[in-house]
Each structure stands twice: as C-alpha cells, then as structure tokens.
Amino acid sequence: MGFYNLLISILNVIILVFSLFSNELGFFQHVEALGINYGQVANNLPSPGRVIGLVSSLNITKIRIYDTNPQILLAFANTGIDIIVTVPNEAVSQLTNRQQSMQWLLSNVKPYLPATKISGIAVGNEVYTSDDQTLMVNLVPAMTSIQEALVQLNLDSIIHVSTSNSLAVLANSYPPSLGSFRQDIGPLMAQFLQFLATTKSPFWINAYPYFAYKDDPLRVPLNYVLMNPNNGMVDPYTKLHYDNMLYAQVDAVTFAMARMGYGGIEVRVSETGWPSKGDVNEVGATRENARVYNMNLVMRQFRNEGTPLRPKQRLEVYLFALFNEDLKPGPTSERNYGLYEPDGTMTYNLGLTTLKSDVPASSLSSSSASQGQKRKESGMSWILICTLIFLKLY
C-alpha cells in the first residue's frame, strides 16, 4: 500500500508540475473555493500575526474560526482574507432576542468592518446532533434574529448566516440519491431549510470520510475514501458515478434537502480532513493517509471540481485544520488533524510553506507585481517538493 500511495503521489505531482508551468508557476491563487479552519483549542499556538504569514504564504484566502476572537479579527484586518466567525453553542439561546443579537453584532462584528473581511456567521456548531433540545429549538430563531439585525445594519448583503451540521443529521446517505434527514429532526430541519432558502445562505456540512473507513475498514475501500484512483460506485437510481466518498456525502445532503422541497440550496463543506495520528483502535489514522487525502482534495480544488450531481458548481471546502490542537478532548486523533504543528513545521509534507515570522497586515496589501512574485515563489516551492518526491527524500 505504501508503494501504491507513492505511485499515486508521483502521478499527482506530474499533473501538478504541468499545471504550475501552464499557470505562470501559480497554484493556490486559483483555488478560490478552498479555505481552512483555524481552531484554537491549544496552549501553544503562535500569535495571530504569525498565523497571517502562514495563511498568506499558502495563498489560501478563507478561514473559519470558532468564536469572535478579537486578537484574530484585529490581526487579519487589511489582509483581504475572508473570515467566517462563530456564535458558540452556549450563546445561541440568548440571541433569540433581537436586542441581544444587535448588541452581539455591535460588539463582535461591526467594530472590525470593513478592514476585517467577515463574510459569514456560523450560529452554533453541529447543533442538530447535540441532544440539547432547547438549543435545537432556539437555533433558527437566533439565526433569524441575527439576520434581522444584519439587515438593520445594512450588512446582510455581505455577511451570510448559517450553521455547520454533522453528517449525522442524515438518516441515510447511501446511495446518495436516497439521502434523507432523520425523522426526529424533520420539523426543525424544515424550519432551518426555509431560513436558508429565504436568505440564500448555504447549507454547511462537516463531512469526514475517515470516520466511515475507521468504523468499517474491511468493507469501505481505502482508495475510495482517500480520493485515489479507484472503480468508485454508481448510484443505481441516478446512474451518477462517484469516485470518492466526500462527493457522495455532499450529494446525499442535496438529495435530502430536495426531498423536503429545498433542492436549490448550495451545500458547502465546513470541515473535512484526516488525522495523522490516532489510538490503536483508530484504523487508518496515519501521516501517509492524511497527506494523501489532503493532497488529493487540494488537487481537486485546484481543478474547481463540482460533485457528480452539480458538476458545474465548484464545491467550496474548508480543510480541518490549520494546527494540531493539544487541548482538544477525546481520542488521540482529535488532537492530530492539523496540517501544521504549533511551531509552524508541517505535520506532513504537502509542499506548503513553513511559518517564519509575524507579517504586518499592511505588507499584505501588495502590488500586482509583488503578488506575482509570491505566486512564483510558491510555485518554485512546489517544484522543489516534486523533485524531492521523485528522489524519495521527503
């Protein structure tokens, strides 16, 4: 399997090198639908100023944070980096009150605009699988209250309101065309989908093919979940061919919404990733699998792919996560999803840049010539990695 993965990596690199030369040594500048999650459940992370240097060096222009950390929002001012902020689950219920929602926006969002590019508010996280009935009931009223406050502040055209859902909101996801929501949350989901349709906001899903493989490694093909070349599966009802599980999961959500009369809502992936380390019972949690999954996903993002159901609508994806977070509870895997260690070194080699120093926000407002030079330097970094791969030194 190690030799096979190496062969796949080499084939991907050959495609990548060709793309680099055909796009003026640029890579991530064209990955407009790729973002990354910047979690902070750790006691050893670098300062937001240093994180700016890392994110900008990758030419990733979108991040998600799980709060409204003022240090991050101030640091990312004038960088042009798009940010989605989050209302913590514990604050959702109080924001059903319109005055409270207005005050929350005036305290946590408006002071940073327009210098900081806040484009979305995630109200809670995985609320419908939280088993907190009060929280679930209060979610849409809180979203509605926040939306009305945004309208009052004339910010509704630049900031969307939604929430991230676990794939466990689905009762069925296979085959994708039989995707359906759990009956016990049906009425709440209908209310939520009505809000999304009215405000033209996306349905965000946290989708992890890794979990499916970990739970059933004998029946779930590893290459299918890693996005490696494989025979894939054909949905028997739509005849659509799926060569990876992530796209099948996304389309299952679309079909589930269509069953409730909301097939026009866009699905975006708020989290996906693969752990580089796990406990003994966490099958497949290795650096090599994490590297292959994220490399293949980035390659597909580079090609602006859509899913089989919506091939012309590029799928927006946020990788999970930027850093390994040492204070996250749970199994070992939970602390090992990061592309980077807290010191800025790569957990595994994707050919990305390491963290060096604080970057003043003003320095990121560069001229087009400077941006072109950065793209060339990024491209040269990838070419160096290509060379190392072929020499099998990385």
Does residue 282 carry a catalytic annotation?
A: no
Tokens of residue 300, six digits: 């597909």
Tell me the C-alpha distance between 306 and 290, whole Å: 22
- Catalytic residue, chosen from 148, 271, 288, 377, is 271
Q: Which helix (H) or strand (E) holds 206?
A: strand 203-206
Q: Per the structure block, which two tokens stand in for 132?
A: 């907190």
Query: Can you tell me the distance from the alpha carbon of 233 to that of 255, in angstroms, rounded to the nearest whole number?
Result: 17
**Is 271 one of the catalytic residues?**
yes
Choosing from 90, 126, 288, 334, the catalytic residue is: 126
Residue 339: DSSP 8-state: S
For residue 253 the two structure tokens come to 């959500």
Instruction: Classify burial at 220, counting beta carbons within 10 Å of its beta carbon; exposed 0-12, middle 13-18, buried 19 or more.
Output: middle
Q: Is 170 helix (H, G, I), strand (E, B) or coil?
A: strand
Task: In whole angstroms, give the CA distance from residue 3 to residue 334.
Answer: 28
Q: Are 163 and 123 in contact (CB under 8 A)?
A: yes
Known catalytic residues are 126, 271
